[in-house]
């Protein structure tokens, strides 16, 4: 289990919010006690805590592409990553680690959003493309790994747990009371709705 939190805003410099993001990710340390990292630029901040399972030495996140223009934060496991890695090598790609995270990143570089067709496993991830000023994020078909997101004051935020949005002090706590009955009756809230007014959940098998 790992955890991540990130914010992106192309309208203004948000690098001064690094401490907010760092504070939020510290409070996810129970999801990843082995390692932590922070990517910081003018318009994007991505943080990650890691439970090290595959490639303990070179699997640090956030992980950058070879050209350092794409950054990924990943939670999960790609069961067929070795086979996919060999396929990508056959297509001319090289790798610096034995991590399935790098396989996801390289697959996205080669196939774009169609990379999801090749992943067998449980996952939630976000890739920030600095060249195209774009976020690509996805969640596995069964929704085993969580992914929450929010638009707030022209800022896009995403994370593994809803509480990180509040821990960052970037979103005020506002319960969505109209969803309480649904949660009490069924034990969950359907679709992208949550118990929070300003936070949505990416549905299983979906990407954005």
Q: Which residues does the annotation mark as catalytic? A: 2
What CA–CA distance (Å, rounded) separates 129 from 8?
Answer: 11
Query: Helix or strand or coil: residue 6?
Result: strand
**How many residues belong to the chain?**
208
Tokens standing for residue 146: 């969580």
Classify residue 54 as left (phi > 0), alpha (psi -120 to 50) or beta: beta
Nearest-10 Cα torsion for 21, 27, 28, 32 = 100
Tokens standing for residue 184: 């009490």
What CA–CA distance (Å, rounded) separates 133 from 43?
Answer: 9
Query: Helix or strand or coil: residue 59?
Result: coil
How would DSSP label each residue in 142-194?
Answer: T--S--EEEEETTEEEEESSTHHHHHTTSS---B-GGGHHHHHHHSS--TT--
Cβ pair 54, 98 in contact under 8 A: yes
């Amino acid at each position: 289990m790992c955890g991540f939190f990130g914010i992106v805003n192309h309208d203004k410099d948000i690098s001064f919010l690094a401490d907010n993001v760092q504070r939020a990710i510290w409070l996810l340390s129970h999801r990843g006690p082995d390692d932590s990292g922070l990517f910081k630029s003018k318009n994007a901040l991505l943080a990650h805590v890691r439970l090290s399972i595959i490639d303990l030495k070179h699997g640090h996140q956030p992980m950058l592409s070879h050209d350092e223009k794409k950054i990924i934060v990943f939670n999960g496991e790609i069961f067929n990553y070795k086979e996919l890695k060999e396929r990508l090598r056959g297509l001319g790609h090289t790798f610096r680690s034995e991590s399935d995270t790098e396989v996801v990143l390289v697959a996205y570089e080669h196939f774009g959003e169609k990379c999801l067709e090749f992943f067998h496993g449980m996952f939630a991830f976000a890739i920030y493309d600095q060249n195209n000023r774009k976020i690509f994020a996805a969640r596995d078909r069964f929704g085993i790994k969580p992914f929450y997101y929010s638009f707030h004051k022209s800022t896009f935020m995403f994370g593994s747990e809803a509480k990180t949005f509040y821990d960052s002090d970037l979103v005020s706590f506002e319960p969505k009371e109209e969803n309480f009955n649904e949660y009490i009756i069924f034990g969950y809230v359907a679709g992208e709705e949550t118990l929070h007014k300003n936070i949505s959940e990416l549905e299983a098998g979906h990407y954005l």
